[in-house]
A and B are shown apart, each in its own frame.
Chain A
Amino acid sequence: MLDVVIIYLVSMASQIIREWAGIQQFPAATQSKLLELLGKLKQENVSTLTILVMGKGGVGKSSTVNSIIGERAVAVSAFQSETPRPVMVSRSRAGFTLNVIDTPGLVEGGYVNNQALDLIKKFLLNKTIDVLLYVDRLDAYRVDNLDKQIVKAITDSFGKEIWRRGIVVLTHAQLSPPDGLTYDEFTSRRSEALLKIVRMAARIRKQEIQAASIPVVLVENSGRCNKNESDEKILPSGTAWIPNLVQTITDAVLSGSKGILVDQKLIEGPNPNNRGKVLIPVILAFQYFFVVKRIQKWIKNDIARESRPSWS
């Protein structure tokens, strides 16, 4: 119970929408690009944008959130989880509200942390998710079953529709690729491997792949990130990644699909206790006439067939 109370307190507190001051921190080029994108959204009558950030623990979810907001909105620490429960950071600018929801890591002890997922679901109750950022590291070389489990858990929780608004974010993008591979080759192979898993776990069928391609964005949150001449953080490929990320988010929002409204029904799924309840009288009748009666007939046959002892 205590947990729940705290969650409410936290969510109440974060409801206080602050002015998006962090946007001033961005380099001028980034600022102008962001404002352009916000203007584009406003044109389409989108005045609120809610971004859900999910992924394994320690992949840089909180850092990404901070990078988007442009200030240290959520605590980050290098060696331990600083996000025990979901946090929503809301900022507004010129009548536009940006909500970014940071969540705790979904993995615990080698399994999907259902408890964390439950917390997230409860937190998201009655909110609309416009974009899901599924965060993983670019410098992780392999994908394994656990990744699949996480994607599956997200799909099971929010439905496969959420992947229409899903973006795969790969952090720690500033790396030197392993020998014999160029940076572009490495990133495309890594993102393809991850996307494959996501598609599989999100149950996106082959014919749907084209229609619902999930974009991949590379991110480097580190302060040592290379910068270009206009002081924007850039990837080894030369793209400024913050405008790129916001661009992708905007594209996803404007792609025509709908945001996911998280309601009670979505959290709990269909109540299995109610399924087929109407059919119970029919089932009962079936059981009486086709099971009980059948067994009674067998018993009758048994009695008729019972071998009499020699003396009777």
Chain B
Amino acid sequence: MASIAAPGHAISVNRSHRRLNSTTTVTSATIKSKLPTFSSSQNPKPYNSNIFASKTLHNVIKNSTAVTVGLYALSSGVSHVLLNGNGGGGFGGSGGGGGGGDGDGFWSRIFSPAAIAGEEESSEWDSHGLPANIVVQLNKLSGFKKYKVSDILFFDRRRRSTVGTEDSFFEMLSLRPGGVYTKAQLQKELETLATSGMFEKVDLDAKTNPDGTVGVTISFLESTWQSADKFRCINVGLMPQSKLIEMDADMTEKEKLEYFRSQEKDYRRRIERSRPCLLPVSVQREILLMLKEHGAVSARLLQKIRDKVQQWYHYNGYACAQVVNFGNLNTKEVVCEVVEGDITQMVIQFQDKLGNVCEGNTQYPVVRREMPKQLRQGQVFNIEAGKQALRNINSLALFSNIEVNPRPDEKNEGGIIVEIKLKELEQKSAEVSTEWSIVPGRGGRPTLASIQPGGTVSFEHRNLHGLNRSVLGSVTTSNFLNPQDDLAFKLEYVHPYLDGVCNSRNRTLRASCFNSRKLSPVFTGGPGVDEVPPIWVDRAGLKANITENFTRQSKFTYGLVMEEITTRDESSHISARGQRVLPSGGISVDGPPTTLSETGIDRMAFLQANITRDNTKFVNGTIVGERNVFQLDQGLGVGSKFPFFNRHQLTMTRFVQLKQVEEGAGKAPPPVLILHGHYGGCVGDLPSYDAFTLGGPYSVRGYNMGEIGAARNIVELAVELRIPVRNTHVYAFVEHGSDLGTSKDVKGNPTEVYRRMGHGSSYGAGVKLGLVRAEYAVDHNSGTGAIFFRFGERF
């Protein structure tokens, strides 16, 4: 009985506890692939009905009276092969008992010999105690001695030569040079070889060495069958194994003939019933070529074919696929029987912290909808689909540990049960983080007043009703003693699967209440203008939107925003107009109005929509593809001064791959040309905080935020060329931004008041260093260049 422990490919993910409101969520995803462990015991009987124990990945039952069943274990451990003769009569190897050495039928049996070696190796060994350089037959060796094997040779009797260590026969052998073995072990080894079906005849001799060790020579005669000119590969997964009628030892010749004939018929029927396999024609043709080249079909050739077929399957991710049998030998056609690993069931299992199976809070459809189609029942298990499932489930951010595990189906031979083990994250979490801020005052010493306790309080309630709905909130302040100074809050409710968890339409409702504070780039000076007193734009409001995901990157969001906008000066006083520094040094507060209502506080409600089409993908780490974004804010005439407007932006970015490259890890990325255009425009009421600004790292590089101008309609154009260098890239760019003469259409004309040009170009070059871009950009308006360091990507 050989038993092979589940060579399962367990895929799992460990997720560290997620921090709320932290953008740098530390997620470690590991995909484990456990190496299978093998334990095998010698098969005592040459005639065996069940060669795989219940734990095996595939149960392949071969029942035969007159044949030897053998099993090979590959070093990879995943596959086992069963060689099958064309239905009886013949006998393979010496274990076949019933003669017919030229074997027109052949059942082979494969063992995993690896286990024998390791455990019984010991450092102590006995000298053979015989004169040196004599050849001793195996049965002449002493049963009480432990022999040390110095080297192992395979001797091909047909070719009258020894074969090299690279020969596939060495894989079958558990003996290793330098190992210590008893006579019984050596006999077992020989038996294993003899019953493998690979050999018609095999002997083991020991040659004594002067230092007390022995050299082992295995002389063999390889099994061969008549040459074939056809090859067929069939999927026998989930098929009941052909039941073979016991062949009575005292059958007459006629009965035997009938028996063989019926077996042949059975086999033909089996082939007919089998499903087509995934193996592409090109590989089949290659194999056919191999067959033709070799002429006679030998055991070694079958091994090669098996390797080739399995290699294709494993390379393409079908990790559970195995060649289980070669049938129809000694006919014109070689039939390769493959169990591809059909999925019979998908099981979702929740585990508690200790790893015990428990009832989960998450509803099953939530997990099930993340499964790729390829993991559904009836599909062939593919490790890539498993990985995809793992990634998809991981993106739910509901589980701390995810394992996708193919397990052999015990009730269904050759079937695979995909087992998904999930450890749920804590549903509720709260976090407090604090920080002290100390600002050096005059003379460089911090004053007592500048020491402020700040921090964030956040809570999250995840996975409400097990449907991945969540409520999360956070409050951040830089000063707990005076939180009204600077208080950022956010409360958000997320409701995914708006159309029902079983509906394939993926819409998510988000409702939030927020505030934010930003420095307005509208109130920025042009080149050569002394500092313009800054204006802060505070927004606080409610937002509800629905996001429909079409693909992972393309989505459509639409919703309603109601907000109050307050504009403040440096000292947090509400300011209705921008300020400017007079040449005399004084500050005048008669700049452009900051709000529509001209009071410094605006309230408005508007509809917001954003459609993003993004088909970019990574080619060897470089982004290639196209991204188009259209964003629309439609005022409803509700709010201060009844704001009615249509503010729209269209962004088009193309990443053009300039050279076809081979994809794969470690391969060089292609050079990429980036074409980028951005149009922004507004019809109707336009408060200055909603004006489009030009200049800045995401607008026209080489300028400060808003340095070129603030306008009603803008257009930005950029071209960038990225050339890969080593494992990063260098780039050169040209950018231009223009207000299209619409700066004057913003009330108060902030572009002119702060003496900005309204249009500007820049060019430059840079290099990407990890996350940082280091670039030299020349601004065309002043003609001067500067080096910038920026985080993240421009496009």
Contact = CB atoms under 8 A, between A and B. Distances in A.
Are A and B a genuine interacting pair, yes or no?
A: yes
Interface of A: 3, 108-109, 111, 114-115, 118, 272-277, 279-280, 283-284, 287, 291-292, 295-296, 298-300, 302-303, 306, 309-312
Nearest to B628: A295
A311 B630 contact: no
Nearest to A297: B613
Contact of B650 (A114, A272, A291): A291
B443 to A, nearest CB: 35
Nearest to B383: A311
B588 interface: yes
Contact of A273 (B583, B609, B747): B747
Contacts of B609: 292
B634 interface: yes
A298 B683 contact: no
B686 interface: yes
A23 B765 CA distance: 71
B755 A111 contact: yes
A164 B172 CA distance: 109
Given A277-B683, A287-B632, A312 B746 contact: no
A303 B551 contact: yes
A279 B372 contact: no
Interface string B736-749: 00000000111100
Contacts of B318: 311
Given A292-B609, A311-B317, A273 B554 contact: no
11 contacts: A114-B753, A118-B590, A272-B746, A274-B684, A280-B634, A280-B646, A284-B634, A295-B630, A296-B556, A299-B554, A312-B373
A106 B171 CA distance: 97
Contacts of A310: 316-317, 384
B684 A273 contact: yes
B374 A311 contact: yes
A306 B385 contact: no
Contacts of B550: 299-300, 303
Nearest to B386: A311
Contacts of A118: 590
Given A295-B630, A302-B551, A303-B550, A311 B316 contact: yes
B207 interface: no
Most A CB atoms within 10 A — which of B373, B590, B596, B752?
B590
A300 B554 CA distance: 10
Given A292-B630, A312-B373, A272 B382 contact: no
Nearest to B632: A287
A296 B385 CA distance: 28
Interface in B289-314: none
A280 B583 contact: no
Interface string B679-691: 0000111100000
A-B pairs with lowest CB-CB distance, top 10: A272-B745, A311-B382, A302-B615, A311-B384, A276-B683, A299-B554, A311-B317, A273-B685, A109-B583, A280-B646
Interface string B345-381: 0000000000000000000000000001110000000
Contacts of B628: 295, 298
A283 B556 contact: no
B776 interface: no
Nearest to A3: B590
A273 B374 CA distance: 56
B376 to A, nearest CB: 12
Contacts of B373: 312
Given A272-B712, A272-B747, A302-B554, A309 B384 contact: yes
B316 A272 contact: no
A109 B644 CA distance: 39
Given A109-B583, A115-B588, A312-B373, A273 B686 contact: yes
Contacts of A312: 372-374, 382, 385
A57 to B, nearest CB: 12
Contacts of A283: 646, 648, 683
Given A284-B646, A312-B372, 13 more contacts: A272-B747, A274-B684, A280-B634, A291-B650, A292-B556, A295-B611, A295-B630, A299-B550, A302-B613, A303-B550, A306-B615, A311-B316, A312-B385
A285 B101 CA distance: 86
Contacts of B556: 292, 296
Interface in B635-688: 644-646, 648, 650, 683-686
Contacts of B646: 280, 283-284, 287
A272 B753 contact: no
Interface in B702-746: 712, 744-746
Nearest to A112: B752
A276 B712 CA distance: 13
A292 B385 contact: no
Interface size class of B (residues with CB under 8 A): 35 or more
Contacts of A108: 583
Interface of B: 316-318, 372-374, 382, 384-385, 550-551, 554, 556, 583, 588, 590, 596, 609, 611, 613, 615, 628, 630, 632, 634, 644-646, 648, 650, 683-686, 712, 744-747, 752-753, 755
Among B550, B648, B684, max chain A CB count under 10 A is at B684
Contact of B745 (A109, A275, A287, A298): A275
B686 A280 contact: no
Nearest to A270: B745
Contacts of A291: 630, 650
A137 B634 CA distance: 53
A296 B558 CA distance: 14
B560 to A, nearest CB: 15
Nearest to B612: A295
A296 B648 CA distance: 17
A37 to B, nearest CB: 40
A296 B555 CA distance: 9
A302 B552 CA distance: 12
B711 to A, nearest CB: 11
B374 A272 contact: no
A114 B611 contact: no
Nearest to A280: B646
A284 B752 CA distance: 30
A309 B373 CA distance: 12
Name, among A109, A292, A306, the residue most crowded by chain B CB atoms within 10 Å (CB to CB).
A292
Contacts of B650: 291
A279 B685 CA distance: 13
A114 B712 CA distance: 20
* Best-surrounded residue of B317, B556, B646 (most CB of chain A within 10 A): B646
Nearest to B554: A299
Contacts of A303: 550-551
Contacts of A279: 683
B611 A292 contact: yes
A118 B106 CA distance: 106
Nearest to A302: B615
B645 A280 contact: yes
Contacts of A109: 583
Nearest to B611: A295
B584 to A, nearest CB: 10
A282 B630 CA distance: 17
B412 to A, nearest CB: 22
B613 A295 contact: yes
Nearest to B373: A312
Contacts of A306: 551, 615
A284 B606 CA distance: 13
Nearest to A156: B744
Most B C-beta atoms less than 10 A away, residue of A275, A277, A287, A311: A311
Contact of A311 (B385, B634, B644, B648): B385
Contacts of A114: 752-753
A303 B506 CA distance: 15
Contact of B684 (A280, A296, A302): A280
Contacts of B611: 292, 295-296
A25 to B, nearest CB: 37
A109 B747 CA distance: 24
B746 A298 contact: no
Contacts of B374: 311-312
